[in-house]
Chains A and B, each alone.
Chain A
Amino acid sequence: MAKILLVEDNEHNRDMLTRRLRRSGFEVCCAVDGPSGVAMASSEQPDLILMDVALGAMDGWEATGLIKRSSRTAHIPVIALTAHALASDRETSVSIGCVDFDTKPVDLPRLLSKINACLAVHS
């Protein structure tokens, strides 16, 4: 069973996505902010990370940058989630090292296909 780390600060979004991903057959662990997301990426060693971009003090880009710079977590693929479907977001996510990019509100079938495609490449 593939393990996904979800980094998301909004309680409802986190709860919903966690439950729906579990129903779809994934093992899910959650982090509520950037620093705990970076720490859990290292301790939990997930197969994939879903990173909300608009977090608090440390935003998703910064957290992803830290994850990509650490030798223990650099190999884990990260999918960025943003509220704005801006081209600049896409460019930033690629330049920081995210494998993919999706927009909120989450369209579950679309996100699942992205997750599966990503896991297929990295397994």
Chain B
Amino acid sequence: MWTSITVGTLNNLVDWFIPANVVHDVDMRKQARIFLYSHLFGPFIGNTVPLALYYFDPKPGFQITVLAVSITGFWIFPFLLRAFGHYYLLATISIENLIFCILWSCYFYGGVTSPTLPWVLTIPLLALFYVGSSPRMRLAVLTLFAVNLAGFLYLYSVVGHPVSSMPFSAMEGLGMVSTVATSLYVAMMALFYANALAAQVELGAEMREHMAKATELRAAAREAQLAGAAKSGFLANFSHELRTPLNAVVGYSEMLLEDMNAATEPEAIADVQKIHAAGHFLLKLVNEILELTKIEAGKMEVNFEPVDLQALTGRVGERHRPLARQNGLDLIVSCDPGLATVMTDPAKLESALGQLVDNAINFTREGRITVTAARAAGQNGEEAVISVRDTGIGIAPERFGSLFEQFNLAADTSASKYGGTGLGLALSKKISNLLGGDLSIESKINVGSCFSIKIPLVAVDAPQGREDQDVAEAMSEADAYHHRLRTLVGEAGREARRLPSAAADIRMAVNG
């Protein structure tokens, strides 16, 4: 517990020195952190050597001052990094300074048998920590190390070296201090890496858990989609099977009506008319179910083409006028002449509008039905608004929300009373959405209702059926989640790869 708190606090301190251009590079930020750790805390440990030399050397000279200044100079590096950036340049200069400090003290105090020689071990360790995974930088710092070492050996053995003024017992003391300090230093760096590693392993396990969950989500979404498709397929087939016998009922009763004599058998005609009307109603219901399931299965094809709205509204008016007149209603159709042509699917729009007019006639006992088409400014540009206004019984506002849900009206007593199938409004709404628009309602009890289909005047990509869209949304969300996790695991993996011994199981998560 305390280590994680300490590490967190230290990270905050260290992060203050990290410049903006390094913060956004995850790999470089990690390298910079260890660079800053060693530079902030290293000089405390490193300066024990010049202190020990000063204490043990009977004749301390300039070489100790040079060493102390060089080691203390490491403290400037974090500030230089914050001020100027250039991480790799600073890292290289720092490594050179480290090599200099160590070889300098060895040169004056015992050469290849110097008590400060253990410090040489920290050179490749730190150098490789600083530069990260770049092969070019690794080669550069190792070459730097080799060249320095060669220069040192040449200078020491060929050119010559000063004779140490320290007695053997002093050398022993220096050796003790140097070994303890080196061990402390290496232990500090190892502790830092062990902490980083533990965090990585934990992260890796968490990632794997999330990945498994994401896979589960995808499977569930796919299953739901398949179940939905199976349901829609069954309904579509079943509706189709129902249509064939219904065609016979409607067709034969129509033929009977053509043959019968109104003068001699009026009662029989009335009966056959009832059979015909009931058959027609059933056929309509089945067709609506078929249309709805087609939309839900995303199988409804939409063909956008230039459509003359004046002609279309006129056609719908002509088709429904006999029924309206039969119910004692006026049916008025008017179309804004400025709205001659729109891009839409004529058959679908005609069907949606027909449903609304049908609905209006069914729910109006007296007065008139007015169909208007006009241009209006919508939220996303211009729209064509086709409205069907009636003087019927009206709808209470609290029922607006559930009005477009399929089968809703079917459960309502008023539906059978007024002869609606209960699917017409749901179908109109779905078709309006399919055409890139929407269906809205305004109504007042006992005053009348107004249903408006709004379709955009610019060509748009037709959206899919709603359920399909929901599943698609869920799928794409799961995909995005999966992708994000993969990116994170990839990052974790890249960092882990720099810790060769422990990376194996995270790499498994990355590859698997």
Contacts and interface: CB of A to CB of B under 8 A. Distances in A.
B301 A20 contact: no
B346 to A, nearest CB: 12
A87 B301 contact: yes
B492 to A, nearest CB: 49
A12 B252 contact: yes
Given A83-B240, A87-B301, A87-B303, A105 B250 contact: yes
A85 interface: yes
Given A13-B248, A16-B251, A83-B240, A105 B283 contact: yes
Given A85-B347, A86-B301, A16 B243 contact: no
B244 A13 contact: yes
Contact of B301 (A19, A88, A104): A88
B247 interface: yes
B255 A12 contact: no
A52 to B, nearest CB: 11
Given A12-B251, A16-B252, A85-B347, A105 B243 contact: yes
Interface class of chain A by DSSP = helix
Contacts of A108: 254
Nearest to B300: A86
Contacts of A16: 248, 251-252, 255
A23 B258 CA distance: 10
Interface in B230-259: 240, 243-248, 250-252, 254-255, 258
Interface size class of A (residues with CB under 8 A): 10 to 19
Nearest to B250: A105
A13 B252 CA distance: 9
Interface in A16-37: 16, 19-20, 23
A32 to B, nearest CB: 15
B303 A12 contact: no
A110 B248 CA distance: 18
Contacts of B258: 23
A12 B248 contact: yes
A106 B283 CA distance: 12
Interface string B251-294: 11011001000000000000000000000000100000000000
A106 B254 CA distance: 12
Given A105-B250, A105-B283, A83 B255 contact: no
Nearest to A23: B258
B282 to A, nearest CB: 12
Given A16-B255, A20-B255, A83 B243 contact: yes
Nearest to A11: B248
Nearest to B245: A12
Contacts of A10: 244
Contacts of B248: 12-13, 16
B255 A105 contact: no
Nearest to A16: B251
Nearest to B252: A16
B280 to A, nearest CB: 10
A106 B244 CA distance: 11
A108 B240 CA distance: 20
Contacts of A106: 247, 251
Contacts of A83: 240, 243
Contacts of B283: 105
B460 to A, nearest CB: 18
B383 to A, nearest CB: 25
A88 B303 CA distance: 10
Interface string A94-108: 000000000011101
A106 B243 CA distance: 12
Interface in A64-90: 83, 85-88
B370 to A, nearest CB: 27
Nearest to A104: B247
Nearest to B247: A105
Nearest to B345: A87
A122 B38 CA distance: 95
A83 B247 CA distance: 11
A120 to B, nearest CB: 23
Interface in B106-127: none
A20 B283 CA distance: 20
A49 to B, nearest CB: 20
A87 B252 CA distance: 29
Contacts of A104: 243, 247
A108 B301 CA distance: 26
Contacts of A23: 258
Interface of B: 240, 243-248, 250-252, 254-255, 258, 283, 301, 303, 347
20 contacts: A10-B244, A12-B248, A12-B252, A13-B244, A13-B247, A13-B251, A20-B251, A20-B255, A23-B258, A83-B240, A83-B243, A85-B347, A87-B303, A88-B301, A104-B243, A105-B243, A105-B247, A105-B283, A106-B247, A108-B254
The 9 closest A-B pairs by CB, nearest first: A12-B248, A16-B251, A87-B301, A105-B247, A87-B303, A86-B301, A10-B244, A83-B240, A13-B247
Interface of A: 10, 12-13, 16, 19-20, 23, 83, 85-88, 104-106, 108
Given A16-B252, A20-B251, A83-B243, 16 more contacts: A10-B244, A12-B244, A12-B247, A12-B251, A13-B247, A16-B251, A20-B255, A86-B301, A87-B301, A104-B243, A104-B247, A105-B243, A105-B246, A105-B247, A105-B250, A108-B254
